[in-house]
């Protein structure tokens, strides 16, 4: 399934039912994990020609069935692509895919690179510099929403980068999410994502502690979940995670190890700006302890040790 032929940076899309031929960019997608896989599948379903790469090739099998070309290296995936999306675990994995021996940077000037994983402010700034040196346009666009919204094409895209790529990316983001918010120059998307995920981890910790507190007071925690659900006190996310906690099924939608990474990135960003996230810093030691056994489980597993 490989080719060394030069490929077009655009393909011709025939939209079902309308008979119109539209030029659409070929998309390289790196990282077909829990989030990347359904995101790439939605792009394929929207009619984009896809070139995918993942470290563990078996995780690209479903996308190959969707007609995606499976590349052996990040550079091979980028060949002929107009847009490249990264959805890898973290900053180091993303930099290796971009700038490692098989990386795409330095080979494809003119490429538009959309970085959608949560990698933190420092990594985002570092990758933006690397991209600029190699003539690649860098768009920082992490997402809010976990696996189910990714599958449903209902993510919220926290986009930041140059205005001139907005039109190009509108149909791409349209296939991935229900809303795109443009926040300013590259880096603003990642900063917004850190703020949102600091809120998210604080909420999950408060939820776990609340249920545990109810249990210790001799109450049925399920009755507290019902009270949260039926009053303004319970956010839909907290109620959903509380239900998961009591159900005890910690199949990951958002792995605890990634939530810890995000909490650490938020704490670092706060410290770099001369401030402290008191709640987020306080939950981290307990979460790291829980992650020694439950790092690959859903973050709601923190209830086990709350
Ligand atoms: N899950 C969520 O709810 C959610 C929501 C919003 C944002 N995010 C963010 O989105 C990103 C992906 O999350 P996910 O839930 O899809 O995680 P995941 O299922 O663990 O997938 C991680 C991806 O990164 C790859 N990877 C990890 N380490 C690597 C390395 N050293 N070199 C190359 N590839 C490597 C994995 O490849 P392999 O398949 O080979 O392991 C996989 O493709 C993370 O930054 C996460 O914080 C997640």
In Å, how far are 78, 89, 117 from 53, measured between CA atoms?
Answer: 9, 14, 15
Domain that holds residue 139: 10-184
**Which of the listed residues 184, 213, 235 is the one where a domain comes to its end?**
184
Report which secondary-structure segment, H or E, holds 23. strand 21-25
178 plus 205 within the same structural domain: no
| Å from CA of 87 to ligand 1 middle | 6
Q: Is the pLDDT of residue 2 over 80?
A: no
User: Are 256 and 291 in contact, with CB atoms under 8 Å apart?
Assistant: yes
What is the mean pLDDT of the segment spanning 203-231? 98
pLDDT in tens, 18-75: 434 446 899 999 999 999 999 999 999 999 999 999 999 999 999 999 999 999 999 9
249 plus 180 within the same structural domain: no
128 plus 209 within the same structural domain: no
pLDDT of 229: 96
Domain membership of residue 4 (yes or no) is: no
Locate 304 and state its tokens: 């086990």
Number of structural domains found in the chain: 2
Q: Is the pLDDT of residue 113 over 70?
A: yes
d(CA 122, CA 105): 19
Domain membership of residue 1 (yes or no) is: no
The CB of 59 under 6 Å from ligand 1? The reply is yes
Q: Which residues contact 159 (CB under 8 A, 6 or more apart)?
A: 139, 140, 141, 166, 169, 173, 180, 181, 182, 183, 189
Which CATH number characterizes residue 296's domain?
A: 1.10.1040.10
227 plus 177 within the same structural domain: no
The CB of 91 under 6 Å from ligand 1? The reply is no
User: Are 232 and 277 in contact, with CB atoms under 8 Å apart?
Assistant: no
**Which of the listed residues 135, 168, 184 is the one where a domain comes to its end?**
184
Closest protein CA for atom 37 of ligand 1? 55
174 plus 273 within the same structural domain: no
The CB of 35 under 6 Å from ligand 1? The reply is yes
Q: Which atom of ligand 1 is nearest to the CA of 261?
A: 47
What is the mean pLDDT of the segment spanning 89-100? 98
104 plus 226 within the same structural domain: no
Closest protein CA for atom 10 of ligand 1? 117
139 plus 212 within the same structural domain: no
Instruction: Tell me the three state secondary structure of residue 135.
Output: coil
197 plus 108 within the same structural domain: no
138 plus 165 within the same structural domain: yes
What is the mean pLDDT of the segment spanning 185-195? 98
214 plus 164 within the same structural domain: no
**Which of the listed residues 169, 184, 199 is the one where a domain comes to its end?**
184
Which CATH number characterizes residue 103's domain?
A: 3.40.50.720
d(CA 21, CA 121): 40
The CB of 196 under 6 Å from ligand 1? The reply is no
Domain membership of residue 270 (yes or no) is: yes
| Å from CA of 17 to ligand 1 middle | 36
Domain membership of residue 39 (yes or no) is: yes
Question: How are beta strands 10-14 and 21-25 bridged, if at all?
Answer: antiparallel
The number of beta carbons lying within 10 Å of the beta carbon of residue 13 is 17
Report which secondary-structure segment, H or E, holds 84. strand 83-86
d(CA 47, CA 42): 9
């Amino acid at each position: 399934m490989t080719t060394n032929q030069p490929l077009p940076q655009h393909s011709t899309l025939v939209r079902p039912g309308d008979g119109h031929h539209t030029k659409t960019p070929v998309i390289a997608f790196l990282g077909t994990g829990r989030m990347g896989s359904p995101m790439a599948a939605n792009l394929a379903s929207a009619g984009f020609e896809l070139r995918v790469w993942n470290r563990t090739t078996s995780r690209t099998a479903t996308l190959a069935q969707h007609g995606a070309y499976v590349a052996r290296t990040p550079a091979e995936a980028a060949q002929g692509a107009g847009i490249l999306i990264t959805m890898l675990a973290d900053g180091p994995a993303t930099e290796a895919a971009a700038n490692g021996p098989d990386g795409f940077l330095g080979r494809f000037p003119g490429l538009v690179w959309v970085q959608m994983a949560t990698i933190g402010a420092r990594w985002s700034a570092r990758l933006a510099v690397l991209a600029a040196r190699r003539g690649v346009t860098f768009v920082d666009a992490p997402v809010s929403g976990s696996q189910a919204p990714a599958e449903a094409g209902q993510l919220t895209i926290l986009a930041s980068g140059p205005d001139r790529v907005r039109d190009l990316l509108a149909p791409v983001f349209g296939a991935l999410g229900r809303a795109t918010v443009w926040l300013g120059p590259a880096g603003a998307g990642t900063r917004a994502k850190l703020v949102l995920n600091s809120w998210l981890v604080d909420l999950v910790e408060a939820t776990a502690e609340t249920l545990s507190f109810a249990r210790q007071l001799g109450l049925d925690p399920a009755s507290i979940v019902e009270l949260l659900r039926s009053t303004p006190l319970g956010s839909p996310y907290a109620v959903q995670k509380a239900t998961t906690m009591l159900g005890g099924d910690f199949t990951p939608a958002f792995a605890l190890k990634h939530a810890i990474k995000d909490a650490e990135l938020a704490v670092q960003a706060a410290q770099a700006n001369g401030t402290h996230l008191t709640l987020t810093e306080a939950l981290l030691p307990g979460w790291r302890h829980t992650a020694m056994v439950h790092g690959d489980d859903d973050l709601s597993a923190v209830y086990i040790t709350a």
